[in-house]
Amino acid sequence: MDDEKLVSQLKGNTLRAYWALLESENGVIGVRELQRRLHFSSPNLALYHLNKLEELGLALNDRGDYRLVREVKIGVFKEFVKLGTLRLPRLFLYSTMFTGLFLFFLTQFKAVNFYSIYALITSILVVAILWFETFRTWKLKP
């Protein structure tokens, strides 16, 4: 299935159901578990979205439990990386790295001159922008 069709079909509660399937242990989730996790009004609504994922070729019905078949990197999923069992914004790694470098710079800060002030201001701006973008991406999470 091409990416355009997946993008058009994978939105709203179906997108949230796919995200829950990605976050589930071993990529397996049941209808009741999905209903509870996403606060759906009935199990039929959860079943509808899981069946829709099955039609898209993203999930497989395995005796009542739905198993993740393949992971797609479209839309908002391009902005997240998998780190163990967590899905973090891609910029999170850069944000933590530059925050660590900034803290190291502060511990080594000795002389106050034009270059040290310039480095301090630049570092503060870079760290602030990276964390802002990281949190903005986190809010995009379904």
**CATH code where residue 59 lies:** 1.10.10.10
Per residue in 2-57, pLDDT (tens digit) is 667 777 778 888 888 988 888 887 888 889 999 999 999 988 999 999 999 888 88
Identify whether 7 is part of a domain.
Answer: yes
Q: Which two tokens stand for residue 130?
A: 């990276």
- Of 35, 68, 101, which one is at a domain's C-terminal end? 68
Q: How confident is the model at residue 1 (pLDDT cuts 50, 70, 90)?
A: low
State residue 129's pLDDT score: 98
Element (H, E) at 30: strand 28-30
Phi, psi of 84 (to 5 degrees): 70, -120
Our count of domains for the chain comes to: 2
Q: Any idea what the Cα angle at residue 94 is, between residues 78 and 98, rounded to 5°?
A: 165
Identify whether 74 is part of a domain.
Answer: no
Q: Which residues contact 94 (CB under 8 A, 6 or more apart)?
A: 130
State residue 63's pLDDT score: 86
* 15 to 20, 33, 60, 99: CA distances (angstroms): 9, 16, 16, 32
- Of 37, 68, 99, which one is at a domain's C-terminal end? 68
- Of 20, 42, 68, which one is at a domain's C-terminal end? 68
What single DSSP character describes residue 78? G
Same domain, 10 and 49: yes
Same domain, 46 and 99: no
* Containing structural domain, residue 43: 3-68
pLDDT at 101 over 60: yes
Same domain, 84 and 30: no
Per residue in 49-90, pLDDT (tens digit) is 999 988 888 888 888 889 888 888 877 788 888 887 788 999
